[in-house]
Structure 1
Amino acid sequence: MPTPPSTIAVVGAGANLGRSIARRFGSVGHRVALIARNRHHLEALASSLADEGITAGVYPADASDEKTLTDALEAASGDLGRIGVLSYSPAPVWSHAGEGLPDLAAMGFTSTLETTPASARAQFDLTVGGALTAAAAVLPAMREARDGALLFTTGRSAVDPLPFLGNAGIAQAGLRNWAGGAHSELASDGVYVGHLSVGVPILPGAGEGDPDAIADRWYQLAQARDTFETTIGF
């Protein structure tokens, strides 16, 4: 009898990409652990998934807080079963400053020459620190089962330096570097590590930037396990 799909933990479970990833993996039987800071938003998302027949649990946590994120992942595993897929894609709350343009400063981004140790640390704690915390929480069970997948989503600045995202680029490139090493080291343990860099706005109906399209791309990569990295929009 085939092994039933495991639980997918979606860290950064927002109404856009996180929701689509939860739906895509949930549609083939994965139970879903929804992790983000806002319980109210998570509960609404879990309710919408339940309407589609997808089992989802709500685990509020700040991805940059090591203890709360670890506790959330451990609780999810206890409630829903072994986490066999980790999707890590936390994102800032988008703010705008007139005419629909994003207010990068309000979102915590600094340009290359305005980047300080403090602004770099803030991005590092979210992007790299949270990813390392999440991986440490789920990897032991994955390696014991000799089956698992770590899926890391970043922006274009992970690959192609963008001067207006100086501090974010440092963090995203660092995560990409670590994930590449983990991809090589964990392959013999049956654990797939992948990186997807998105260089277009993630918006419904935006072609390859549509969150459902990106979620399907992730599902196909996790199934094929034949490449570490892919990019979208560049």
Structure 2
Amino acid sequence: MTQTGKVVAITGASSGIGEATARRLAADGHRVLLGARRTDRLEGLVEQIVAEGGTAAFRALDVTDAQDVRAFVDAARAEFGRIDVLVNNAGVMPLSPLEALKTEEWDRMIDVNVRGVLHGIAAALPAMRAQGAGHIVNIASVGAYEVSPTAAVYCATKFVVRAISEGLRQESGGDLRVTLVSPGVTESELADSISDPAAREAMKAYRAVALPASAIADAIAYALSQPPGVDVNEVIVRPTASAQ
């Protein structure tokens, strides 16, 4: 176990990439604060991390609520004294053709995938500026670089996250590191939110070859492990066998 001991706040930490990232970073010696709506899962995860010698805490979190995200960042500072890294991981992916007019699902993707990221930046940036250092890690998707049928709105949200990340990087002034991690098909619960039957069946075939969530956690750990003068800006991680 390394002794870097950064304080890392992770949104969407109750499953998938968020959970894997919590486990990996805690194993690396970082102190992690985990946020999600499913606190029962967070509680069990924290217990496992602590039992394995790591340092972790959790708090209920709804990333669509700006005040709640501010409270989440404040909780990290109260628990551990500072916040060094924010991993904006929470996301939803209820795919459907545009003609299905699932406007509530469109709104949900915008609220979680875009506003959630902005709420995280708004909450963490002042504290990181005051410290003179910090690291924002935004989880996007290969959908930030390409668009596929049924995924127009989802991909649009990830294009936005990519643009936000690049803008934040350019504005960083040298005291803030910004990393965009874009997973290809990864084992997660994202597809569980697809209500459109055709899109759900298509996604089953699309996800036949998938990365373990730990592969994305490893990419995040790599970005965090670099010395202060090195900023890993974009990482795309795909299954070797995938053409997508």
Q: Cα distance, 1:133 vs. partner?
A: 0.8
- Unaligned ranges ≥5, structure 2: 189-207, 239-243
Q: In percent, how many aligned pairs have the same letter?
A: 27
TM-score, structure 1 normalization: 0.83
1:38 maps to a residue whose letter is: R
Mapping 1:1-234, distance limit 5 Å: 5-92=5-92, 108-114=94-100, 118-186=104-172, 188-202=173-187, 209-224=211-226, 225-233=230-238, 234=244
Partners in 2 of 1:208 and 1:110 — Cα distance? 21
Q: Cα distance, 1:14 vs. partner?
A: 2.1
Partners in 1 of 2:154 and 2:166 — Cα distance? 18
SS in 1 for 2:67: helix
Query: Quick check: 2:95–2:154 contact (8 Å CA) kept in 1?
Result: yes
SS in 2 for 1:91: coil
Q: Cα distance, 1:10 vs. partner?
A: 0.7
- Runs of 4+ in structure 1 off by over 4 angstroms are 115-118
- Quickly say closer, same or farther: Cα 1:117–1:33, change in 2 above 3 A: same
1:52-71 per-residue CA deviation (whole Å, 9 max, x = no partner) reads 11111110011112222221
Query: Quick check: 1:46–1:58 contact (8 Å CA) kept in 2?
Result: yes
- Unaligned ranges ≥5, structure 1: 93-106
Query: Quick check: 1:9–1:35 contact (8 Å CA) kept in 2?
Result: yes
- Quickly say closer, same or farther: Cα 1:29–1:228, change in 2 above 3 A: same
Partners in 1 of 2:91 and 2:110 — Cα distance? 13
Aligned Cα root-mean-square deviation (Å): 2.3
Q: Cα distance, 1:34 vs. partner?
A: 0.5
- Quickly say closer, same or farther: Cα 1:41–1:185, change in 2 above 3 A: same
Partners in 2 of 1:140 and 1:66 — Cα distance? 14
Query: Quick check: 1:208–1:214 contact (8 Å CA) kept in 2?
Result: no
Partners in 2 of 1:170 and 1:71 — Cα distance? 28
2:72 maps to a residue whose letter is: A
Query: Quick check: 2:106–2:153 contact (8 Å CA) kept in 1?
Result: yes
Q: Cα distance, 1:8 vs. partner?
A: 0.3
2:170 maps to a residue whose letter is: S
SS in 2 for 1:131: helix
TM-score, structure 2 normalization: 0.80
1:159-216 per-residue CA deviation (whole Å, 9 max, x = no partner) reads 1112211221111111111111111211x2421111111111226xx99822222111
